[in-house]
Chain A
Amino acid sequence: MIRVQAEPFDPGAELTAFLARCGGAGGVASFVGRVRDRDGATPILAMTLEHYPGMTERKLAEIESEARRRWPLADSLVIHRYGRMLPGEPIVLVATAAAHRQDALAACSFLIDWLKTRAPFWKMEETPAGARWVEARASDEEAAARWVLAAAD
Chain B
Amino acid sequence: MKVRYFAWLRQRTGVAEEELPLPEGVRTVGELARYLGERHPRFGEVLRTPGVVRFALNQEYVDADAPVGPDDEVAFFPPVTGG
Q: A residues bordering B, Cβ < 8 Å?
A: 33, 49-52, 54-55, 58, 80, 91-92, 112, 115-124, 133-136, 140
Contact = CB atoms under 8 A, between A and B. Distances in A.
Interface stretch (B2-10, B19-27, B28-36): B2-10
Contacts of A33: 83
25 contacts: A33-B83, A50-B7, A50-B10, A51-B82, A52-B6, A54-B59, A58-B59, A91-B82, A91-B83, A116-B80, A116-B82, A116-B83, A119-B83, A120-B80, A120-B82, A121-B83, A122-B6, A122-B8, A122-B78, A122-B80, A123-B81, A133-B7, A133-B8, A133-B78, A135-B81
Contacts of A91: 82-83
B82 A52 contact: no
Chain A binding surface SS class: mixed
A68 to B, nearest CB: 19
B53 interface: no
Interface residues of B, number: 16
Given A91-B83, A123-B81, 13 more contacts: A33-B83, A54-B59, A55-B59, A55-B60, A92-B82, A112-B83, A119-B80, A120-B80, A121-B81, A122-B8, A135-B79, A136-B78, A136-B79
